[in-house]
Each structure stands twice: as C-alpha cells, then as structure tokens.
C-alpha cells in the first residue's frame, strides 16, 4: 500500500487541460507461461497537453482471456483502465519516442496478474500520427502470482 501511495504522489503534480485522443489495436502475449491464450486488445486513450511529461489515460478491452482466478479454463474478457505519466521526445521530422509508467485497474483478477490493482510501463515510437508500442502490466509481486500481461499496440493519434 505504501508503494502505491508513493507512485500516486509522484503522478499527481501538474495536470494540463489540452487533450490528444488516440485509439488502436493490440496483440496480447503471456510469454508461453500457460497462463492464457495469446489474444487481441482494443485501446482508447487521452494524453493531456503537448508537454514533455503529459498525463495519459487509457481504457482497453482484452478479448477472450482463458483463465481467471478461481475459474479454471473459463473463457472470458476483461477491461483495463490506466492512469500514468509519459516521458517523450518529439523530433522536428515527425518522429517521437516515449516511455510511460502508471497504475492499472482491471475488472477481473487474472492468473497472470492475480490482482485488481496493478502497475504498467510502456515503451514506444511513432511517426506523425502512427505509434507502435509495447506495454507490460503486472502487480509488482504485491499479491499472488506475477506473470503479467504484455501487449503490443499499433495506435493512431486523432488530434495533434
């Protein structure tokens, strides 16, 4: 709980009000751990402002994850909501590189994360309105198993 509070304290300063919406599709991989099937994900997000360290809010849907806590071999889906900060560098020629970190809430505990509350980190790059990035979600070994979920996203920025 102390770790979660420290992360929140680091995330709270300086919110700006201009937003950049984006949406995309993803491929979910569980690293051949037997924890779930590889499947698809859809994401919608907002970045606040044009600064180097914007807030990032996302909402995603993971399609047909195989195993939930207490429900062996149950096929179902779950939703993921994130709040985080992004560090980026935008080049003059339209390229961008970025990294993100933040907190995650999920609608169902999965075998891969074992918790409703998790953390994420992302790395990616883009050109103009297209971005390719990878996100890892895990519970940081705070509860139960911690295999985590890895998602590769291709997203489109609607407003620059």
pLDDT in tens, 72-131: 555 567 788 999 999 999 999 999 999 999 999 988 777 677 788 899 999 999 999 899
What's the total number of domains in the chain? Answer: 1
Question: What's the angle, vertex CA 118, arms to CA 113 and CA 119, rounded to 5?
Answer: 120
Parent domain of 68: 2-11+18-157
Alpha helices in 12-158 (DSSP H): none
The answer to whether the CB of 125 falls within 8 A of the CB of 131 is yes
* Termini Cα distance of the chain: 37
pLDDT in tens, 33-67: 455 556 778 888 888 877 788 999 999 888 766 55
Q: Does residue 9 sit in helix, strand or coil? A: helix
Report if pTM > 0.85: no
Spatial CA neighbour of 110 closest among 140, 141, 147, 84: 147
CATH code: domain of residue 77: 2.40.160.20
Tokens read off for 77: 């889906």
């Amino acid at each position: 709980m102390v770790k979660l509070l420290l992360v929140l304290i680091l995330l709270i300063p300086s919110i700006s009000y201009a937003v950049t919406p984006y949406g995309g599709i993803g491929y979910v991989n569980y690293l051949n751990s037997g924890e779930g099937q590889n499947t698809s994900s859809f994401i919608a997000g907002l970045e606040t402002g044009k600064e180097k360290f914007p807030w990032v809010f996302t909402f995603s849907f993971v399609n047909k994850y195989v195993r939930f806590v207490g429900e062996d071999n149950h096929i179902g889906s779950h939703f993921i909501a994130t709040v985080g900060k992004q560090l980026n560098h935008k080049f003059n020629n339209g390229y961008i590189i970025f990294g993100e970190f933040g907190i995650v809430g999920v609608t169902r505990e999965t075998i891969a994360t074992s918790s409703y509350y998790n953390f994420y980190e992302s790395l990616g790059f883009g050109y103009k309105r297209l971005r390719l990035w990878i996100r890892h979600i895990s519970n940081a070994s705070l509860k139960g198993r911690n295999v985590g979920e890895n998602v590769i996203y291709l997203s489109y920025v609607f407003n620059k």
